[in-house]
């Protein structure tokens, strides 16, 4: 269940909007220039599938989107709980980087969730829109949009990333501590599980 929650950017005391309806989510995000759509879920692609398997499974959708947008690079990123040395530190460092509010001045941030979940927080026009994405969701955040991303303290996701620029992910950080005022992934995920039960 995808979930959109909108609050005033002063804090989460009042909810402006909360919906899990895909049509309502797309309609609410469209005026912000944010692309939201759902692709068919390939249940035969396991969470730990290698990048070639993931790319091949979604080749038709990737090619269609690439024909529309003309991306320079398409790749797969995956982060799943592991026991290898340094895993917890790797996760902590990555999470801190993405939790900091930032923009991308030269490229959109386009992600398709193959498995798992993550939350994009869009800070636009005095509001914060938390988009809880799960497998099957594609979100396109336009360049210049102030946002942050949370994957939780024990991330588990595989995503296809689309870049117009060869440089890939390049963030310009605002220095704002705003992310600290809003419910994080773990909090939203716990609510998601309660709602789905």
141, two tokens:
């955040």
Q: Residue 174 and residue 153: Cα distance in Å, rounded?
A: 23
Q: Is 104 annotated as a binding residue?
A: yes
**Would you mind telling me the total number of residues written for the chain in this entry?**
197
Q: Is 129 annotated as a binding residue?
A: no
3-state secondary structure of 60: helix
pLDDT on residue 194: 65
Evaluate if residue 165 carries a pLDDT over 80: no
Q: Is 80 annotated as a binding residue?
A: no
Q: Residue 27 and residue 101: Cα distance in Å, rounded?
A: 24
Q: Residue 153 and residue 81: Cα distance in Å, rounded?
A: 10
pLDDT digit string, tens, across residues 18-71: 999 999 999 999 999 999 999 999 988 987 899 999 999 999 999 999 999 999
Evaluate if residue 106 carries a pLDDT over 90: no
The answer as to CATH 2.60.120.10 being correct for domain 3-196 is yes
pTM for the model stands at 0.92
Q: Is 102 annotated as a binding residue?
A: yes
The helix (H) or strand (E) run that includes residue 162 is: strand 157-163
pLDDT on residue 39: 96
């Amino acid at each position: 269940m995808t979930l959109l929650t909108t609050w005033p950017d002063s804090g989460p005391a009042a909810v402006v909007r909360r919906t899990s309806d895909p049509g309502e989510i797309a309609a609410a995000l469209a005026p912000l220039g944010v692309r939201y759509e759902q692709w068919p879920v390939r249940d035969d692609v396991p969470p730990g599938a290698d990048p070639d398997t993931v790319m091949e499974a979604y080749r038709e959708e990737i090619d269609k989107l690439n024909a529309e947008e003309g991306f320079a690079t398409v790749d797969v990123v995956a982060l799943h709980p592991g026991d290898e040395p340094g895993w917890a530190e790797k996760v902590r460092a990555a999470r801190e980087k993405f939790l900091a509010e930032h923009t991308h001045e030269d490229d959109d941030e386009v992600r398709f969730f193959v498995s798992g979940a993550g939350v994009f927080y869009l800070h636009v026009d005095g509001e914060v829109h938390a988009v809880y994405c799960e497998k099957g969701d594609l979100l396109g955040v336009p360049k210049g949009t102030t946002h942050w991303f949370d994957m939780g303290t024990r991330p588990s996701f595989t995503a296809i990333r689309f870049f117009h620029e060869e440089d890939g992910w390049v963030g310009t950080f605002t220095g704002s501590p705003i992310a600290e005022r809003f419910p994080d992934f773990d909090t939203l995920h716990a609510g998601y599980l309660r709602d789905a039960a």
